[in-house]
Amino acid sequence: MIVANEINKSFNSNKVLCDISLTINRGTFFAIKGPSGCGKSTLLNILGLLDTPDSGKLYFDDELINFKNRTRTAYLRSREIGFIFQAYNLMPKLTVFDNILLPFLYLKKSLFNQNLYDTLIERLSLTRLLTKPADVLSGGEKQRVAAARALITNPNIVICDEPTGNLDLANARFLMSLLKEISIEASKTVIMVTHSNDFDSFFDDTFVFEG
């Protein structure tokens, strides 16, 4: 369970998040919606422990997150959270294969799950791309690689920032159903920012920013 309590965040004098509170239960497929520039990514970054709120509290299960403890947040990011970035954030010079396995540069090799890897490669149609360097991929291809990298560690919380924004409908559907399965069968929490209403039926719960 993730609980956010009166989260505030401003950039310089621009107040982006204002007393945001929300509760996300384990196993929920949770959507965050709102107009562009309203602070969705900012909120996701805080939930994904990539950014620090100015004030407010964040709990993972019953743990109050101490954003100053960089070792702990890094640990949670590596073991609990899988983050699919809006801007992909792949390593441009590395191949798709190396990008997907990047987390295992510092995670124990024993955490690697070959079955999960095979499933992800197949479901995200990455087989033919594995040896290509990431910087030659199209936007949609990059998005699928980013998804595979986020899911390869089998995280309890999957955070996605418009993961279908660059995908065609077929591929978007593959990814959405993959995420849905993960949330139902493995009881993982999936938090997703999206603009489209095409997949509303997938979501268990939705948080809408008042524009």
Partner 1 sequence: MLNILLNSLKTFSSHKMRTMLTVLGIILAIAVYLISGIYSEAIIKTQSDKYIEFDPHSLYISDNLYSTSVDRLKQSFPDAHVSAFQESPLYRIHTPDEKNNFDVYGVLVGVSLDFERFPIPSLDALDCIKNSTLLYGRSFNNQDFSLNKKVAVINLSMAKLLFGDTNPLGQYVNFDEPSQYMIIGILSDSSDTLRMLERFNNDIAGIEDMTVPFMPFYVPLTSIGYKYPAGKTIVTFKPDVDMFDAYNAVLSLNYSYKNYTYTADSVLTSLEDSVAESNQIINLLVLVMLLMSGMSLSIILIFSFKERLPEIGIKKAIGANDAFILFQFFIENAVLGIVGALFGIVLSFFIIIIATPLILHVPVSSILGVLTWNNVTIPILLSLSVSMAFGYFPSLWAVKQNIMSVLRYE
Ligand X SMILES: Nc1ncnc2c1ncn2[C@@H]1O[C@H](COP(=O)(O)OP(=O)(O)OP(=O)(O)O)[C@@H](O)[C@H]1O
How far apart are alpha carbons 18 and 29 in whole angstroms?
24
Helices assigned H by DSSP within 80-168: 96-100, 114-123, 139-151
- Select the residue interacting with ligand X from 28, 29, 40, 160 (CB under 6 A): 40
Under the criterion CB under 8 A, does residue 107 sit at the interface with partner 1?
A: yes
Residue 40 vs 149, nearer CB to ligand X: 40
Residue 26 vs 70, nearer CB to partner 1: 70
Interface map 151-190 toward partner 1 (x if CB under 8 A): --x-------------------------------------
Under the criterion CB under 6 A, does residue 38 sit at the interface with ligand X?
A: yes
| Three-class DSSP category at 95 | strand
Tokens 């124990």 found at: 108
How far apart are alpha carbons 92 and 205 in whole angstroms?
35
In Å, how far from its chain's centre is CA 96?
A: 18
Q: Which two tokens stand for residue 135?
A: 């910087």
**CB of 96: closest distance to ligand X in angstroms?**
25
Under the criterion CB under 5 A, does residue 41 sit at the interface with Mg ion?
A: yes
**CB of 201: closest distance to ligand X in angstroms?**
22
- Select the residue interacting with ligand X from 31, 39, 96, 192 (CB under 6 A): 39
**CB of 133: closest distance to ligand X in angstroms?**
26
Helices assigned H by DSSP within the chain: 40-47, 70-79, 96-100, 114-123, 139-151, 169-185
Which of 99, 161, 175 lies closest to 131 in space, CA to CA? 99
Residues contributing to the site for ligand X (CB under 6 A): 11, 14, 16, 36-42, 86
